[in-house]
Amino acid sequence: MPLTTSFTATPGQVQIVFSIITIVVLLHVFLGACAYSIMLERKLSAWMQDRVGPNRVGPKGLFQPLADGLKFLLKEDYTPAGVDKTLFTLAPGLIMLPAMIGFVIVPFTGAIDITGLIQWMGISEKNTTYMVSVLGADLNIGVVYLVAVASLGVFGVTLGGWSSNNKWSFLGGLRGGAQMISYEIPMGLALLAVILVAGSLRPDAIIGGQLAGAWNIVQLPVAAVIFYACMLAESNRAPFDLAECESELVGGYHTEYSSMRFALFFLAEYFHMITGAAFFTMLFLGGWSVNPFGGWDLPASGEWWMGLIQFVVFAFKMFLLIAFAMAIRWTLPRFRFDQLMRLAWEGMIPASLFVMLVTSVFLFLGWQDWMWAGSLGMIAVIFLALPIMPRQSDPNHRVKLIGSRFSPADEDFDATSVAESTVG
Amino acid sequence: MSTVTPISLAIDGIASYLPVAVIIVMAFLFIVANLVMTSIIGPKADGAVKGLAYESGMDPIGSARKRFNVRFYILAMTFLVFDVEIIFLYPWAVTYTKLEPGSAESALFLGRILFFIATSIIAYVYAWKKGVFRWD
């Protein structure tokens, strides 16, 4: 029964309304997921270390995130004396805002058939099925938007570190800035390999290609590994959390922050991680695809319950990725800063450039189905080339000290001159 | 109704960015509301010692805004070379995949981009030899 009023919406406006509803729902879901992934991390780390973890607030400690949030609100929002007040206030917002707006381009389920709704509104044409995309913003440059927005977080880290007028914060901010821009390059190049395979910047086209064929992690395993590592580095997660490593820099760039401003830094890290997991699922794990090798897959029938199944599959993959990142954090030791930089610039950037070039050459030769062989061949070439690569001298400078057991110096040795020449 | 190819409601052009504006406003409101709420609810107390920068319990020595290592600048410049390059590669990648594999046009596209990447690889090798990536 058509709606017979003077209501004149176009189908495009229906999509906008759906998008805005999706955004409002997903933002709340993700903020809740952020709070509970902090809880999950505490529980996981407790289990990995044979502890119990938070279990006092509510049944099995389930209200712990609420208690944490309340406590953050009730704490004093203190601004120390020597800080740059404008930037100090701005920095938490500058890191939280880019973290929160990135997820809108990720389609969490396939398109849903809303022909019934459109007919009810009386704006349908005959013999037409209307499919609505359940995602925030259907941008034609979707993945570029997400990469661009995610990399804006570097301003918050650097400004937060600089404005605090604290040496720990300053060093943390500098390190964070250097690290985030360094890992952006291999991330962009690995993404480029995916774009070459998918042939589009649209998120739904990238997932569609993986629904029809194999997942990108099967086709481009090296790019997937590089991308995941860069994702951890971009969100300042261990083993790349040198910007906030407590054993060296106290709290890093958020040492001087308290109450909700600190909480925003903390939330932004987890929001980055959730967005990153969604992005990785979309790019490499085929979105809601259940068959990694192509062939039968969840049909794009458009029923709402099929959309629900697709969303559950997507969310489950995201959950696995987040739990994996947490397991990495509590398993691997932290890098040293020179190792971190060398991994990015001397390891990942050549490797990702190589992946991208191999992918484009394979495309030229029409070997689309043999991408995985290209990646494996690349790994073989790297292992063959490693022994003949130029070696660096021992990066561990041992400062000679008079009377030292390990690196003794002669009596007439001037220790201060060596120390000054080697301090980085 | 069931026999025709389904059409997507997706819209193109600047109107597709409207939801992005919505999410920016929502994120902004979330941040501002949190900061304002905590500054209203939280206690307030100040003191000369409390305002000091935290330096593991000692009195801070000098300001933190000092000169820092020039390597960070050099790294940022090297980053710019690559970042601009990658931005150019995205539109290339989308166009390149639309071409017939092995055709003359495709070979031209591939050759041009190989030359373009080769120029930045030269810059990269130069930076490596100059020790930009050495942090020891």
B82 contact partners, CB below 8 Å, separation of at least 6: A185, A349, B120, B124
A69/B contact by beta carbon, under 8 A: no
A215-268 pLDDT, tens per residue?
Answer: 888 888 888 999 999 988 888 887 887 777 777 777 778 888 888 888 888 888
A382/B contact by beta carbon, under 8 A: no
Q: Distance (Å, rounded) from C-alpha A318 to C-alpha A277? A: 5
Query: How far B88 CA sits from the closest chain A CA (Å)?
Result: 11
pLDDT of residue A320: 92
Given an 8 Å threshold on Cβ–Cβ distance, is B54 in contact with A81? no
Query: How far A165 CA sits from the closest chain B CA (Å)?
Result: 5
Nearest to A174 among B35, B52, B72 (CB): B72
Nearest to A260 among B34, B96, B113 (CB): B34
Query: How far A5 CA sits from the closest chain B CA (Å)?
Result: 22
Could you tell me where the beta strands, DSSP code E, fall in B29-89? none
Phi, psi of A408 (to 5 degrees): -70, 150
Given an 8 Å threshold on Cβ–Cβ distance, is A23 in contact with B19? yes
Query: How far B102 CA sits from the closest chain A CA (Å)?
Result: 5
Q: Distance (Å, rounded) from C-alpha A11 to C-alpha A122? A: 11
* Cβ pair A317, A358 in contact under 8 A: no
Q: Kindly list the domain boundaries of chain B, sorted by start residue.
A: 6-41, 70-130
Given an 8 Å threshold on Cβ–Cβ distance, is B19 in contact with A395? no
Please tell me what DSSP assigns to residue B8.
E
| Percent of chain A that is helix, strand, coil (3-state, to 5) | 65, 0, 30
A136: closest chain B residue by CA: B19
Asked if the model's pLDDT at residue B74 lies above 70, the reply is yes
Please tell me what DSSP assigns to residue A17.
H
What the block records as the tokens of A102 is: 């990135």
B90 contact partners, CB below 8 Å, separation of at least 6: A144, A192, A195, A201
Q: Distance (Å, rounded) from C-alpha A241 to C-alpha A333? A: 10
B30-73 pLDDT, tens per residue?
Answer: 999 988 888 888 788 877 778 787 877 777 777 777 788 888 88
| Percent of chain B that is helix, strand, coil (3-state, to 5) | 60, 0, 40
Q: Which amino acid is at A302?
A: G
A115/B contact by beta carbon, under 8 A: yes
Residue with tokens 């404008």: A86
Q: Which of residues 315-354 of A touch B (CB under 8 A)?
A: 337-338, 341-342, 345-346, 349, 353
Neighbours of A74 (CB within 10 A): 13
pLDDT of residue A421: 53
Q: Distance (Å, rounded) from C-alpha A148 to C-alpha A57? A: 39
Q: What are the chain A neighbours of B22 within 8 Å (beta carbons)?
A: 20, 23
Q: Distance (Å, rounded) from C-alpha A222 to C-alpha A207? A: 19
Neighbours of A206 (CB within 10 A): 25
pTM of the model as a whole: 0.85
Q: Distance (Å, rounded) from C-alpha A391 to C-alpha A389? A: 6
* Cβ pair A161, A174 in contact under 8 A: yes
Given an 8 Å threshold on Cβ–Cβ distance, is B19 in contact with A136? yes
Q: Distance (Å, rounded) from C-alpha A137 to C-alpha A12? A: 12
Asked if the model's pLDDT at residue B20 lies above 80, the reply is yes
pLDDT of residue B3: 46
Q: Is A408 helix (H, G, I), strand (E, B) or coil?
A: strand
Residue B12's pLDDT band (cuts 50, 70, 90)? low
Q: What are the chain A neighbours of B31 within 8 Å (beta carbons)?
A: 92-93, 96-97, 264
Nearest to B102 among A76, A349, A366 (CB): A366
Given an 8 Å threshold on Cβ–Cβ distance, is A165 in contact with B65? yes
Beta-bridged to residue A214, according to DSSP, are A293
Q: Is residue B32 exposed (0-12), middle (13-18) or buried (19+ Cβ within 10 Å)?
A: exposed
Given an 8 Å threshold on Cβ–Cβ distance, is B20 in contact with A136? yes
Given an 8 Å threshold on Cβ–Cβ distance, is B16 in contact with A250? no
A169/B contact by beta carbon, under 8 A: yes
Q: Distance (Å, rounded) from C-alpha A263 to C-alpha B97? A: 44
- Cβ pairs A/B, distance under 8 A: 262
Q: Distance (Å, rounded) from C-alpha A223 to C-alpha A356? A: 8
Chunked mean pLDDT (size 10), chain A, 424 residues: 52 77 88 88 88 84 86 85 84 89 85 74 67 77 87 87 85 87 90 88 85 84 90 83 76 82 88 90 86 76 80 90 89 83 85 87 82 82 78 62 71 57 48
**A130: part of which helix (H) or strand (E)?**
strand A130-132
In whole angstroms, what separates CA A264 from the centre of its chain?
17
B32 contact partners, CB below 8 Å, separation of at least 6: A93
Given an 8 Å threshold on Cβ–Cβ distance, is B38 in contact with A264? no
A29/B contact by beta carbon, under 8 A: no
